[in-house]
Chains A and B, each alone.
Chain A
Amino acid sequence: MMSKTLDIRVARGKAARRSLPLPALLEPLRSPFVAVTRTLVPPALGIVAFLLLWVLVAQGSGGSLPGPVSTWRAAVLLFADPFYQNGPNDQGIGWNVLMSLGRVGAGFGLAALVGIPLGFMIGRFDFLARMSAPVISLLRPVSPLAWLPIGLLVFKAAGPASIWVIFISSIWPMILNTAAGVRAVPQDYLNVARVLRLSEWKVFTVILLPAALPAMLTGVRLAVGVAWLVIVAAEMLTGGVGLGFWVWDEWNNLNVEHIIIAIFVVGIVGLMLEQALVWLARKASFGEEH
């Protein structure tokens, strides 16, 4: 995964260099300009096209769907005071985002705490792999929200129930990717460990953990993605506070601008989570492309 993004970057660099049939004198002036153009123009065009489409659809809907301008005005008002608090059902957008992030953090953190060690054991011991295979393949395809009633039944509260849904839906990618990473550790490294008769703990810290780290982080990234996808849906169903609840609440108020803003906020926060983990994974994969 990492090497793919690297390759793309290299390829882009090469293309930029090839398409510079400019006089050598201009080159120092021109090449930063060309580079900036190449990196900024296509995304900017994409955004403009998207906004245009939005305007067209909004106008076509005859006013029931707000356009970019009125959404922007609503957003400015909304973000002017993101942390106000008028009782439990009327809070600033900032609180809603933090609540959702908190639940994702709790559910996802618990899933990591359980899933990563479990993945290591399943990857290391064939017996455990065969023991857990039927259960995992049965439970993994279950839609995350199907777990919600069980959570409500057991915890009798909305908060813990949505954390439970996050937990159960984000644990599978972490178990499976960690186990795959451990299973893919080259036999040669394990032979080194056998010749040295390293203790199981040393094998874990010196060989398995660093070797499986990139795969593990892939699992973490997928899990965060799933968790963030699921939280909005779960909160819509459970109510209380959080982005999902806020979307539902604004739907009941028929405040469509706010729903659209919520969609953007969900997208941007998800993007930031993803980027943070990509950055982390790139740090961890140092020196292993060879």
Chain B
Amino acid sequence: MERYVELDQVGMHFDGKKGRFVALKDVNLTIARGEFVSLIGHSGCGKSTVLNLIAGLLLPTDGIALANGREIAGPGPDRAVVFQNHSLLPWLSCWGNVHLAVERVFGARETLAQLAERTDAALALVGLSHARDKHPHEVSGGMKQRVGIARALAMAPKVLLLDEPFGALDALTRAHLQDELMGIVANTGSTVVMVTHDVDEAVLLSDRIVMMSNGPAATIGDILEVPLARPRDRLALAADPEYQRLRAEVLDFLYRRHARPEAA
């Protein structure tokens, strides 16, 4: 199995006014090509930090982080990020936002027509062809998040990094986008790392669930394999005993073994 991302004894601390804060300690994780991995844990445990380390937006203060066999020295379009709050540029249309990424990644090699085609294709993939000329403030939260996903996918990244991509959406929109994401990942064979705090989302989408202990000095508490067959159907799974068992395992980790300190 080809390893795409490798975290080896990774630690991360922040030096602030109140001294040193150790966010992560001894994080070990390998992610294979085509794998869908989610990171779950209580708020503030360091999920985004792990994702940002893979993205290269942060550099580890201890240990080594590798992507595609090379040390991660900074961000790059091979590791596309879908940010929690969509981060679309408000002065560009949906099309313009996606095109910015396409232009940067493929601009040197392709003609303008090919670039435009890629942008159109990415918007079509998330079902937003009709909103191409709208600005972000003219579309719904779900659509914004889809543009963010289209922008990331259009970069043809080796790894797709999603930070609570559906966290701010209502339950129906969230379910719809989860199904859409599953379809896209099945078609493109993308490698995905997704941060979530939603147990059902983690079980439904993932091949493995990385469960994190609470900070400070958070680390990986346990990794749960999700051997459910694909394609997965949320309605059929609701009654599936295996799904129930996996779900119970995650809940047990989060609320018994690693209950939030202040809640315990």
Chain A residues near B (Cβ < 8 Å): 186, 188-189, 191-192, 194-198, 202, 206-207, 210-211, 286-290
Contacts and interface: CB of A to CB of B under 8 A. Distances in A.
Given A188-B83, A188-B85, A290-B137, A196 B77 contact: yes
B77 to A, nearest CB: 6
Contacts of B136: 290
A131 B57 CA distance: 27
Interface in B128-179: 135-138, 155
Contacts of A196: 77, 100-101, 104-105, 155
A287 B104 contact: no
Contacts of A194: 57, 74-75
21 contacts: A191-B57, A191-B75, A191-B81, A191-B83, A192-B87, A192-B89, A194-B57, A194-B75, A195-B75, A195-B79, A196-B100, A196-B101, A197-B74, A197-B77, A197-B104, A207-B89, A286-B91, A287-B138, A290-B90, A290-B136, A290-B137
Given A191-B57, A197-B74, 19 more contacts: A188-B83, A188-B85, A191-B75, A191-B87, A192-B89, A194-B74, A195-B55, A196-B100, A196-B101, A202-B104, A210-B89, A210-B91, A286-B91, A287-B90, A287-B91, A287-B138, A288-B90, A288-B91, A290-B137
B80 A195 contact: yes
B183 interface: no
Nearest to B157: A195
Interface string B35-71: 0000000000000000000010100000000000000
Contacts of B137: 287-290
Contacts of B81: 191, 195
B76 interface: yes
Interface string B98-127: 001100110000000000000000000000
A290 B136 CA distance: 9
Contact of A206 (B74, B100, B135): B100
A18 to B, nearest CB: 28
A198 B102 CA distance: 12
B78 to A, nearest CB: 10
A195 B77 contact: yes
**Nearest 3 CB-CB pairs, A to B?**
A188-B87, A290-B137, A210-B91
B213 to A, nearest CB: 27
Contacts of B83: 188, 191-192
Best-surrounded residue of A194, A196, A287 (most CB of chain B within 10 A): A196
B193 to A, nearest CB: 14
Contacts of A198: 104
Given A189-B87, A192-B87, A196-B104, A287 B77 contact: no
A288 B90 CA distance: 6
A195 B101 CA distance: 9
Contacts of B105: 196
A207 B90 CA distance: 10
A206 B89 contact: yes
Nearest to B52: A191
A197 B138 CA distance: 28
A242 B87 CA distance: 50
A193 to B, nearest CB: 9
Contacts of A191: 57, 75, 81, 83, 87
Given A188-B83, A287-B135, A287-B137, A195 B89 contact: no
Contacts of B76: 195, 197
Nearest to A195: B75
A39 to B, nearest CB: 29
Interface in B11-53: none
Contacts of A206: 89, 92, 100
A205 to B, nearest CB: 11
A206 B97 CA distance: 10
A202 B89 CA distance: 13
Best-surrounded residue of B75, B87, B91, B155 (most CB of chain A within 10 A): B91
A212 to B, nearest CB: 11
Nearest to B104: A196
Contacts of A202: 104
A289 B90 CA distance: 10
Interface in B157-209: none
Contacts of A188: 83, 85, 87
Nearest to A284: B91
Nearest to A196: B104
Contacts of B89: 189, 192, 206-207, 210
Best-surrounded residue of B75, B80, B136 (most CB of chain A within 10 A): B75
Nearest to B81: A195
A267 B138 CA distance: 40
B190 to A, nearest CB: 16
Nearest to A289: B137
A210 B91 CA distance: 7
Best-surrounded residue of A286, A287, A288, A290 (most CB of chain B within 10 A): A287
Contacts of A211: 91
